[in-house]
Amino acid sequence: MEYVLMIVAGVFVNNIVLNRFLGICPFLGVSNKLENAIGMSAAVVFVMTLATSVTYLVYKYVLEPNGLGFMQTITYILVIAALVQVVEIILKKTSPALYQALGVYLPLITTNCAILAVAILVVQKNYNLVQSIVYAIATSLGFGFALIVFTGIREQLDLCNIPKGMKGVPLSLLTAGLLSLAFMGFAGIVK
């Protein structure tokens, strides 16, 4: 039951984009077409889960035992960047079709602050490895859910007659704010 609550909280209640306001750049930048949003969501699920698992192990078995906890952020940045590069190289060699699907989004994910935030949060929350992986999956699914919903709204708004001063970024920010308020309605469900 603990893991179900963690998933509900990660997707709806504590949504990384709409509640914590992390990962806004890809959220606003990739949300113009549904195909792009789905590709980015899949890439985030894959990379966030893998990066959180690896950084957790690095922290628990390298940094913490050696008293190097203060090196957490810089180590995580290096690990995530290296991990994304390795994944990109492996995908290019082994699965060109999957590389074509995710390849465009992998470099964008390297600079996504939501990936780093989740890796740090699992240590702050004192999760074990299984809880860390579940939290990473739930959070990345929440990112993807918010991105796909936002993309659908933006595609519908493109079909409407909108005043010239509201087109583009102003309407996108207003829509994201309203979507964030809508997600706040889930706040009492889980902590």
Count of the separate structural domains present in the chain:
1
Taking the CB of residue 58, how many other CB atoms lie within 10 A of it? 17
Q: Considering the chain, what percentage of its residues have pLDDT values greater than 70?
A: 97
Q: How far apart are CA 118 and CA 137, in angstroms?
A: 10
Within-domain flag for 191? no
Q: Which two tokens stand for residue 161?
A: 């007659």
Q: What is the pLDDT of residues 36-81, one digit of tens each?
A: 888 888 888 988 999 999 999 999 999 999 999 999 999 999 999 9
Q: What is the pLDDT of residues 8-35, one digit of tens each?
A: 888 888 889 888 888 888 888 888 888 8
Within-domain flag for 20? yes
Within-domain flag for 23? yes
Range of the domain at 69: 2-186
Query: What's the chain's average pLDDT?
Result: 88
Taking the CB of residue 39, how many other CB atoms lie within 10 A of it? 18
How open is the CA angle 44-46-48, to the nearest 5 degrees? Answer: 60
Within-domain flag for 111? yes
Q: Look at residue 106 and tell me whether its pLDDT is greater than 80.
A: no
